């Protein structure tokens, strides 16, 4: 029986305590061309929309961190060879860069996000002195079976590009190993993602678990006032299913654009390092048609067309959490060989005896008057084969289903993407 490489990725946007045992300084190359970073950011966003379209078939709310899953796949791809690498690279839309250059650019993104922490004292905004919080944290780690020898080239790449150190565990002691990793995920997601690895996911054949954690919590640059929140109708199915939701309201200046099919607004958080982009169909039942048009290029067009306007925003408060089994989704994206005995991850150990057994993603988001908190975790198991209001303002009334994205303002990378179909249900 071939050994199992349990590969796990945990991603969330939130700051949490890190474990010293797995903390490794990023040593990403300083000479990465801006064009390479832009190309990788673009490929990451296209992967985000491909992923969204694949999970889009299910009705209801959606919350997922494509950056988390993409990062986990990147860590996995460093050790992939042959057809296994070809399929992962294609699904990730990897640009035409040398492998070392691609990983260096990925490392720069990780480095930028890890350096994005901002203390309250560093967010001086005279007009918004009530804004106090901005936290962003990205972390990666490797968990390897005690006694297994990993190629130094693979471990070096994990350290330099993903700041992922190796910690040895004894996977034959499943409860202890699973708790150790789950505790790491929980700590790096401010306890929002718990029990990422379910009982039974780790076995005696487990050889490695890869984890990626991202946590985000920030105040709006312009907060909603709680006294302006009111109960109102939300057309949950875009037609006849009307629910009572908590609708927030704010009239201020925001980046805004519209097409005949939809309106879009960009709502920045403090420091303007991350923003929420909300895409609202003009027709109550227009979301399915709008979703089909979304890709990396259309997002670039939306951002390019943004103009600062006075916008009267009505947005529901909502929370969502979701657990997504990813085996079929990744296979639908073209990653098939990795899940079979034909998988080749010889770049990890020097021997093609590992395969991806399962992949799981968990995500969480909460949006209210003060701001947003979001977290996500992705698990991939590999087994041995074995202001002043002017007279007129643009109305942006999100009282029917819409798409939203949390995007990094510098790189444009989509950290989270989701859909609100019913703000009164958790998922």
Model pLDDT, residue 132: 52
Whether residue 8 is contained in a domain is answered as no
Model pLDDT, residue 127: 37
Asked if residue 398 and residue 274 are part of one domain, the reply reads yes
Query: 43 falls in which pLDDT band (50, 70, 90)?
Result: very high
- E strand spans, 201-353: 208-219, 230-235, 242-258, 262-268, 274-281, 307-316, 318-325
Asked if residue 373 and residue 250 are part of one domain, the reply reads no
**Which domain covers residue 157, as residue numbers?**
20-219+320-384
**Distance of alpha carbon 298 from alpha carbon 45, whole angstroms:** 11
Query: 427 falls in which pLDDT band (50, 70, 90)?
Result: low
Whether residue 2 is contained in a domain is answered as no
More confident residue, 370 or 29: 370
pLDDT at 80 over 90: yes
Average pLDDT, the chain: 83
Whether residue 337 is contained in a domain is answered as yes
Whether residue 118 is contained in a domain is answered as yes
Whether residue 11 is contained in a domain is answered as no
| 8 A C-beta contact, residue 275 and residue 269 | yes
Any idea what the CATH number is for the domain that residue 293 is in?
Answer: 2.30.39.10
Phi-psi region of 371 (alpha: psi -120 to 50; beta: other; left: phi over 0): left
**Hey, is 302 helix, strand or coil?**
helix
Q: Which helix (H) or strand (E) element contains residue 416? A: strand 414-420
Digit-coded pLDDT (tens) for 284-319: 999 999 999 999 999 999 999 999 999 999 999 999
Whether residue 300 is contained in a domain is answered as yes
Asked if residue 147 and residue 274 are part of one domain, the reply reads no
**Distance of alpha carbon 40 from alpha carbon 418, whole angstroms:** 21
- Number of domains within the chain: 2
Written as six digits, the tokens of 11 are 């991603």
pLDDT at 240 over 90: no
pLDDT at 6 over 50: no
| 8 A C-beta contact, residue 161 and residue 28 | yes
More confident residue, 330 or 1: 330
Secondary structure (DSSP) of 179-229: HHHHHHHHHHTTTSS---S-TTS--TTB-EEEEEEEEEEEEBSSPPPGGG-
C-alpha dihedral over 266, 269, 270, 273, to 10 degrees?
A: -80
Asked if residue 121 and residue 72 are part of one domain, the reply reads yes
Whether residue 14 is contained in a domain is answered as no
**Distance of alpha carbon 264 from alpha carbon 259, whole angstroms:** 9
Asked if residue 249 and residue 166 are part of one domain, the reply reads no
Least confident piece of the model among 106-115, 255-264, 270-279: 106-115
Asked if residue 409 and residue 310 are part of one domain, the reply reads yes
Least confident piece of the model among 55-64, 108-117, 266-275, 392-401: 108-117
Query: 40 falls in which pLDDT band (50, 70, 90)?
Result: very high
Of the candidates 388, 384, 9, 400, which has an alpha carbon nearest to the alpha carbon of residue 189? 9
Asked if residue 215 and residue 84 are part of one domain, the reply reads yes
Please state, for a pLDDT cut of 90, what percent of the chain lies above it: 49
Whether residue 357 is contained in a domain is answered as yes
Model pLDDT, residue 7: 34
Asked if residue 353 and residue 312 are part of one domain, the reply reads no
pLDDT at 180 over 90: yes
More confident residue, 92 or 393: 92
Asked if residue 250 and residue 199 are part of one domain, the reply reads no
Asked if residue 330 and residue 410 are part of one domain, the reply reads no
Any idea what the CATH number is for the domain that residue 95 is in?
Answer: 3.30.497.10
CA atoms within 13 A on the CB side of 253: 6
Query: 12 falls in which pLDDT band (50, 70, 90)?
Result: very low
Asked if residue 243 and residue 98 are part of one domain, the reply reads no
The pair phi, psi for residue 134, each rounded to 5°, is: -155, 120
Asked if residue 278 and residue 153 are part of one domain, the reply reads no
* Positive or negative torsion for Cα 90, 336, 379, 287: positive
Please state, for a pLDDT cut of 70, what percent of the chain lies above it: 84
């Amino acid at each position: 029986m071939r050994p199992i490489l349990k590969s796990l990725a945990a991603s969330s946007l939130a700051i949490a305590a890190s474990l010293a045992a797995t903390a490794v300084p990023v040593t990403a190359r300083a000479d990465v061309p801006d064009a390479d970073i832009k190309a990788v950011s673009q490929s990451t966003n296209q992967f985000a929309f491909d992923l969204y379209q694949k999970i889009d078939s299910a009705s209801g709310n959606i919350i997922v961190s494509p950056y988390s899953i993409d990062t986990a796949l990147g860590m996995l791809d460093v050790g992939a060879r042959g057809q296994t690498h070809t399929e992962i690279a294609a699904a990730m839309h990897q640009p035409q860069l040398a492998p070392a250059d691609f990983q260096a650019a990925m490392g720069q993104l990780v480095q930028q996000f890890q350096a994005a922490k901002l203390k309250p004292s560093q967010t001086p905004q005279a007009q918004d002195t009530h804004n106090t919080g901005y936290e962003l944290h990205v972390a990666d780690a490797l968990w390897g079976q005690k006694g297994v020898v990993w190629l130094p080239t693979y471990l070096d790449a994990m350290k330099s590009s993903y700041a992922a150190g190796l910690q040895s565990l004894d996977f034959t002691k499943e409860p202890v190993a699973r708790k150790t990793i789950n505790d790491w995920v929980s700590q790096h997601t401010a306890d929002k993602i718990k029990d990422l690895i379910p009982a039974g996911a780790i076995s005696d054949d487990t050889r490695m678990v890869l984890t990626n954690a991202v946590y985000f919590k920030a105040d709006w640059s312009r907060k909603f006032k709680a006294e302006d929140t009111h109960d109102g109708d939300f057309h949950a199915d875009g037609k006849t299913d009307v629910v009572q939701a908590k609708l927030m309201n704010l009239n201020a200046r925001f980046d805004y654009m519209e097409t005949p099919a939809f309106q879009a607004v960009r709502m920045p958080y403090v420091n303007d390092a991350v923003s929420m982009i909300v895409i609202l169909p003009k027709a109550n039942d227009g979301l399915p048609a709008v979703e089909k048009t979304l890709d990396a290029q259309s997002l670039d067009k939306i951002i390019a067309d943004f103009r600062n306007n006075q916008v009267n925003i009505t947005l529901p408060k909502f929370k969502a959490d979701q657990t997504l089994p990813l085996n079929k989704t990744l296979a639908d994206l073209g990653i098939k060989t990795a899940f079979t005995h034909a998988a080749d991850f010889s770049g990890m150990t020097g021997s093609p005896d590992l395969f991806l057994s399962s992949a799981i993603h968990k995500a969480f988001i909460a949006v209210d008057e003060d701001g947003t908190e979001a977290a996500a975790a992705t698990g991939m198991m590999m087994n041995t084969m074995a202001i002043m209001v002017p007279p007129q303002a643009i109305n942006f009334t999100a009282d029917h289903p819409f798409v939203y994205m949390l995007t990094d303002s510098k790189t444009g990378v989509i950290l989270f993407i989701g859909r609100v179909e019913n703000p009164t249900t958790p998922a």
